[in-house]
Chains A and B, each alone.
Chain A
Amino acid sequence: MSDTAENYDQGEYNFAYLDEQTKRMIRRAILKGIAIPGYQVPFASREMPMPYGWGTGGVQVTAAILGKDDCLKMIDQGSDDTTNAVSLRGFFEKTAGIRTTYETSEATVIQTRHRIPEKDLTDDQVIVFQVPIPEPLRFLEPRETETRKMHALEDYGLMHVKLYEDIAKNGHIATTYAYPVKVNDRYVMDPSPTPKFDNPKIDEMAALQLYGAGREKRIYAIPPYTKVKSLDFEDYPFEVQKFDKPCALCGARNVYLDEVILDDRGGRMFVCSDSNFCEERRAAGHVGPMAADPAAVQIGGSSQEETAR
């Protein structure tokens, strides 16, 4: 199986790249993950024809579930057009020959890095997250044997201490990405490095959520309609980021915005991080405060991603 990367170079590979034995192993891990929401199932991650950090965990999960009738949407930081998204979408177009789309509602499978689409997902969809570090306790306890014990005993005191130290230092919980959640009142889980703005979306979501970490060899899942609670304290309840302005291009409020630099004189604007959501709104006639500015539309169009960082 270690020669799969070589086979890809030679153009010899199975449907969706992975061999059937590997798919079966990943499929069994997915079923266990679904049965034990939020628990990290170990799996034998394969070498993929792309470096770790490019979403090899998500790619393996997607490859294991994908069928020839699926329609795949691939997003990176909300955009379908980043180098990472384009490359992974191309990988599945080439190895599985499936349909792909930018439209959230058209997709049956959505693979994502760092964002969840603004549009509500449905019962018929599966969202696959690329996860770099699946263990939410890893920064507090480096030993796997210890973190596994903590999960087994439901001993999450250390995590609460960390969040409380945050409050003592900053006056509020400073964590804005990979904000830990408790799934089904049992397992503390890392929702992957999505902004905490997206945490409410994974609570009682209609779509099945699958999480894949390639380097760390873990798969976990949240079934549809599962209670997912962001950790907090009675006197410091969980809050999402708030943006005081609407999207400069489509005028959307209550969506996640990226800052975009317009020029070298300090000109900037805030636009939807979900580029497909923004484009659909603009196509439907919604107008933001800077929609008439040609420079803003040029930069904030369908390729805002690189300037946003």
Chain B
Amino acid sequence: MEPSITTENRAIRTAPLAAGFADPVHDAQGCFRAIMDVMARPGTRKTLELGKLTPPAPLTPAAAAIALTLFDYDTPVWLDRPLMQSDAVKAFLRFHTVAPILSEPVEAAFALVSEPGSMIPLTSFNQGSAEYPDESTTVILTGQVFGKAQAVTLEGPGIKEKISFSTGPTPPIFWDQVVSNNRQFPRGIDLVFAGEKEIAALPRSTRITLTEA
């Protein structure tokens, strides 16, 4: 499906909608366990079973799988500009998850970022409150390549001693933002990184040390 052909509603209605999970119950369960594992073990990676997911670009199959697993009418979703500009992406997400799509990042339960290199600051999202830190945004960065960019060192819950982690693309002062995010624990956002098939996560509890180049 070509997402950028037109923005006319008529074209969207006639375009065939890409399918969701082939087996909604077990595919969602498998995808959730992978997300749970990487959230519980920050910096480690798990491979998603993506089956035949072919969502409209720039929504990646891995991002679509995460959306189908976690989003629903209870989870307002913020999309970055390339995703927001694609009616096919919005139609796909609305049809399969029923999640409300909104333009205010601070109101989002989830944020999907398709161009992480130029993403908005992490402080733009909901940081949760001191009494309800769980009400914060989970930010999903897509199109990630692991092990190629400058590595950082991770410590904290879920990590036995220390672990080295490298992912990209990320915006220029991204890791400083992640350090600040951890400093306001228990408030803060949680990050999920989605590559082609692999995912990793950094919950707010992870302490980051920037490694000198």
B127-140 interface bits toward A, Cβ cutoff 8 Å, 1 = contact, 0 = none: 00111111000100
A4-25 interface bits toward B, Cβ cutoff 8 Å, 1 = contact, 0 = none: 0000000000110000110111
Known: A35-B190, A65-B36, A225-B158. A24 touches B72 (CB 8 A): yes
- The answer to whether A14 and B134 touch across the interface, beta carbons within 8 angstroms, is no
State which of B74, B131, B160 has its C-beta within 8 Å of the C-beta of A149.
B131
Which residues of B have CB within 8 Å of A35? 39, 190, 203-205
B186-197 interface bits toward A, Cβ cutoff 8 Å, 1 = contact, 0 = none: 100010000000
- The answer to whether B186 and A14 touch across the interface, beta carbons within 8 angstroms, is no
Which residues of B have CB within 8 Å of A187? 186
Q: Of A36-44, A84-92, A129-137, A251-259, which binds chain B?
A: A36-44
Which of chain A's residues has its CB closest to B202's CB?
A35
Task: Give residues 183-237 of A contacting B (CB, 8 Å).
Answer: 184, 186-187, 208, 221-227
B101-143 interface bits toward A, Cβ cutoff 8 Å, 1 = contact, 0 = none: 0000000010000000000000000000111111000100000
- The answer to whether A24 and B131 touch across the interface, beta carbons within 8 angstroms, is no
Which of chain A's residues has its CB closest to B32's CB?
A27
Give Cα A203–Cα B138 distance, bound, in whole angstroms: 27
- The answer to whether A31 and B131 touch across the interface, beta carbons within 8 angstroms, is no
Which residues of A have CB within 8 Å of B28? 20, 23-24
Give Cα A218–Cα B190 distance, bound, in whole angstroms: 20
- 7 shortest A-B CB distances, which residue pairs? A35-B203, A223-B158, A152-B130, A32-B134, A226-B157, A223-B157, A152-B131
Taking Cβ atoms with an 8 Å cutoff, the residues of A that contact B are: 14-15, 20-21, 23-25, 27-37, 39, 41-42, 64-68, 148-149, 151-153, 184, 186-187, 208, 221-227
Which residues of B have CB within 8 Å of A186? 185-186
Known: A21-B72, A31-B39. A39 touches B26 (CB 8 A): no
Which residues of A have CB within 8 Å of B148? none
Taking Cβ atoms with an 8 Å cutoff, the residues of B that contact A are: 24-26, 28-30, 32-33, 35-36, 39-41, 69-70, 72, 74-75, 109, 129-134, 138, 156-160, 185-186, 190, 203-205
Which residues of A have CB within 8 Å of B131? 148-149, 151-152
State which of A39, A66, A67, A224 has its C-beta within 8 Å of the C-beta of B186.
A39
Give Cα A152–Cα B26 distance, bound, in whole angstroms: 37
Which residues of B have CB within 8 Å of A20? 24-25, 28
Give Cα A225–Cα B40 distance, bound, in whole angstroms: 10
- The answer to whether B30 and A67 touch across the interface, beta carbons within 8 angstroms, is yes
- Whole-angstrom distance between the Cβ of A156 and the nearest chain B Cβ: 14
Give Cα A37–Cα B42 distance, bound, in whole angstroms: 13
Which of chain A's residues has its CB closest to B25's CB?
A15
Which residues of B have CB within 8 Å of A64? 32
